[in-house]
């Protein structure tokens, strides 16, 4: 199995195809077991990896760094102000410089076009740690987590995303589920549905894979029988603060509450979130939401977030193991 191009880049969620995606899940599961058993073999000794971040990060940065260190590689972190990328130097020129020094480049930022330009010019693997359109490494962690709770065929897994259907996570879940033959539902207000072209692409993938794809405003229909309920922040990093005034009225009916979890009709439904989450008033964002809108927690209530059904921290840990699988597949000796 190889990644999307001859240089082993991973730019969008469909680059791997179903077989490649499942193979990476299997590799990640094995690497996770090896790490926990203390028998991990280092396959990246002597490799050097650049981590280029236009957006701040906790899970993505830590997962790439620990994955690389565990496997014997070195990393160089270039933060939002840590390089000339796109300001004093073109993306193409930066790609050529980094490609001559590093064996691979991770990019987390805004425009999908930026990472595509990096991949065209670097001459080494480029991996998408998040853009405004796609979040492929998150999808690997999410599906690994689902599989850990629902062993067997991926086609038997149903999940429902509640919230902003245009977000990179919702878009990625839609296409990933369609590619893998899963039962994927997106419940969102009509104004926040994924783009029509993306839904059409997902339906075409579903025809080939046997997936069931639903995009609806009806939370009851979307939640019925779902094994996993997934949500994300209502206003993403880099968006204007004024977006809260627009999004809160639209998205409050899609807030994940205990009642929403019960609406699946399943006692074994699990709650998922890619984090960070606005679930209480211990953060500046949480306090702002409470003060401005009278909500304790935004996209999810604290009782759901902290419940036994919540597997959000398992998701977070699995970022490490799945990203490690990506690195080993691309650069392993």
pLDDT tens for each residue of 159-184: 999 999 999 999 999 999 999 999 99
Ranges in the chain annotated CATH 3.40.50.1370: 17-134+319-331, 151-226+228-263+270-308
Q: How far apart are CA 42 and CA 65, in angstroms?
A: 14
Distances (CA, A) of 36 to 29, 31, 48, 244: 11, 9, 25, 41
Q: What is the pLDDT of residues 28-73, one digit of tens each?
A: 999 999 999 999 999 999 999 999 999 989 999 999 999 999 999 9
* Triad 299, 300, 305: Cα angle to 5°: 145
pLDDT of residue 7: 59
109 CB burial (10 A radius; 0-12, 13-18, 19+): buried
Q: Which CATH number does 151-226+228-263+270-308 carry?
A: 3.40.50.1370
Q: Which CATH number does 17-134+319-331 carry?
A: 3.40.50.1370
* Residue 270 in tokens: 């699990």
Name the band, by pLDDT with cuts 50, 70 and 90, for residue 87: confident
Distance of CA 7 to the CA centre of its chain: 22
- 281 contact partners, CB below 8 Å, separation of at least 6: 287, 290, 296
The pTM for the full model equals: 0.96
Q: How far apart are CA 12 and CA 6, in angstroms?
A: 15
Q: Are β-strands 158-162 and 126-130 bridged in parallel, bridged antiparallel, or unpaired?
A: unpaired
Residues taking part in catalysis: 108, 135, 138, 232, 274, 319
pLDDT of residue 1: 39
Position 5 pLDDT exceeds 70: no
Name the band, by pLDDT with cuts 50, 70 and 90, for residue 2: very low
Position 279 pLDDT exceeds 90: yes
């Amino acid at each position: 199995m190889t990644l999307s191009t001859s240089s082993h880049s991973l730019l969008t969620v469909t680059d791997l195809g179903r077989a490649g995606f499942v193979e990476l899940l299997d590799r990640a599961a094995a690497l996770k077991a090896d790490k926990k058993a203390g028998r991990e073999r280092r396959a990246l000794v002597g490799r050097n990896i650049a981590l280029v971040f236009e957006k701040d990060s906790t899970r993505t940065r830590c997962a790439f760094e620990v994955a690389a260190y565990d496997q014997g590689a070195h990393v160089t972190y270039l933060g939002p102000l840590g390089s000339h990328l796109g300001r004093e130097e073109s993306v193409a020129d930066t790609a050529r410089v980094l490609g001559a020094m590093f064996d691979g480049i991770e990019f987390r930022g805004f425009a999908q076009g930026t990472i595509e330009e990096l991949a065209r010019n670097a001459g080494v693997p480029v991996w998408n740690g998040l853009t405004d359109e796609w979040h492929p490494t998150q999808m690997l962690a999410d599906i690994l987590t689902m599989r850990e709770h629902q062993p067997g065929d991926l086609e038997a897994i149903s999940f429902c995303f509640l919230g902003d259907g245009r977000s990179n996570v919702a878009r990625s879940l839609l296409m990933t589920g369609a590619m893998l033959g899963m039962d994927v539902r997106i419940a969102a207000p009509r104004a926040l549905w994924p783009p029509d072209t993306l839904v059409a692409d997902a339906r075409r993938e579903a025809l080939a894979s046997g997936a069931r794809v639903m995009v609806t405003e009806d939370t009851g229909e979307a939640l019925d029988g779902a094994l996993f309920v997934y949500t994300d922040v209502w206003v993403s990093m880099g968006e204007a603060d004024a977006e809260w005034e627009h999004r809160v009225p639209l998205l409050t009916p899609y807030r994940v509450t205990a009642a929403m979890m019960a609406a699946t009709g399943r006692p074994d439904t699990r709650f998922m979130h890619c984090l960070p989450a606005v679930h209480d008033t211990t953060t500046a964002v949480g306090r702002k939401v409470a003060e401005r809108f009278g909500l304790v927690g935004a996209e999810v209530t604290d009782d759901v977030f902290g419940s036994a059904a919540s597997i959000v921290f398992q998701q977070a840990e699995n970022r490490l193991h799945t990203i490690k699988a990506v690195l080993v597949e691309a650069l392993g000796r």
